[in-house]
């Protein structure tokens, strides 16, 4: 009996996710979902992204999901942009309904790009759409080069993959081509970016990708 119940939950969530995306489209807000394990560098990447977007006159906002505490949201708020915290209280993923309620904290007319940082997890968030336009998966050199092999569904549904902490390559045995090859086998259309928030490598490429993806989506929606 558990499978039909789970399927009904997903269908209900997908319906709400479509409503969210319809709202984003009407308000011309480009929405980026961010997935990754704890410690992958999601929040640090967002901090670097926020600074870079200000330089290209794009107004960001962030919705942060966590099991507990508001530490990540507090870090983002220090950059002076709209930010809201969603604390799940133990749930391992965000759902579309939670995102919809949190949107009341934002004036969407003042936002160009909204980032939704999901709970640190590469399993549970995969099946739950939130209304995002693109989904980015962040993983890092210290996590090892078997992430794609272990979590294929997550990487298959990604639009962009960021291999973070690329500067750690000198300290750890990591075959960059292995996960990259496996990811493209699952999804030939994805974008792969090697990144280091410490050195700045890949940040400009990431920003250019966001600008291009946003413009394409806005043109599609008229």
Q: What does the alpha-carbon distance between residue 27 and residue 11 come to, in Å, rounded to a whole number?
A: 25
Q: Residue 113: name the closest of 52, 77, 59 by CA.
A: 59
**pLDDT mean values, one per 10 residues, the chain (222 residues):** 58 93 96 96 96 93 85 90 86 90 93 94 91 97 96 96 96 94 97 97 98 94 76
| Structural tokens at position 135 | 């989904």
Instruction: Spell out where the chain has E strands.
Output: 30-36, 60-66, 83-87, 113-117, 134-140, 160-164, 191-194
Residues 6+ positions from 135 with CB-CB distance below 8 Å = 32, 33, 35, 157, 158, 159, 160
Residue 7's pLDDT is 64
Q: How much is the pLDDT for 172?
A: 87
Whole-number Å distance between alpha carbons of 43 and 15? 28
Please give the pLDDT value at position 71: 81
Domains, the chain, with CATH or none: 2-221 (3.40.50.300)
What is the per-residue DSSP string for 116-163?
EE--SBSSGGGG---S-SEEEEEEEGGG-TTHHHH-HHHHHT-SEEEE
Going from the C-alpha of 133 to that of each of 78, 92, 94, 167, 193, the distances in angstroms are 26, 21, 16, 30, 18
Alpha carbon 172 to chain centroid, angstroms: 26
């Amino acid at each position: 009996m558990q499978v039909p119940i789970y399927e009904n939950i997903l269908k209900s969530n997908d319906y709400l996710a479509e409503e969210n995306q319809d709202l984003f489209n009407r308000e011309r807000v480009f929405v980026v979902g961010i997935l990754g394990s704890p410690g992958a560098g999601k929040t640090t990447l967002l901090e670097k992204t926020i600074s870079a977007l200000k330089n290209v006159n794009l107004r960001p906002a962030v919705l942060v999901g966590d099991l507990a505490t508001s530490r990540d949201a507090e870090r983002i708020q220090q950059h002076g942009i709209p930010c809201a915290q969603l604390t799940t209280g133990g749930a391992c993923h965000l759902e579309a309904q939670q995102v919809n309620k949190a949107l009341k904290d934002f004036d969407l007319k003042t936002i160009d790009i909204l980032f939704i940082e999901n709970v640190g997890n590469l399993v549970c968030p995969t099946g739950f759409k939130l209304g995002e336009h693109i989904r980015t998966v962040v993983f890092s050199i210290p996590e090892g080069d078997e992430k794609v092999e272990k979590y294929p569904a997550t990487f298959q549904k990604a639009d962009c993959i960021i291999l973070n902490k690329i500067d750690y390559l000198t300290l750890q045995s990591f075959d960059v081509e292995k996960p990259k090859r496996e990811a493209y086998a699952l999804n030939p259309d994805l974008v792969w970016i090697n990144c280091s928030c410490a050195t700045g490598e890949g940040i400009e490429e990431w920003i250019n990708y966001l600008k291009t993806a946003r413009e394409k989506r806005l043109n599609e929606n008229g």
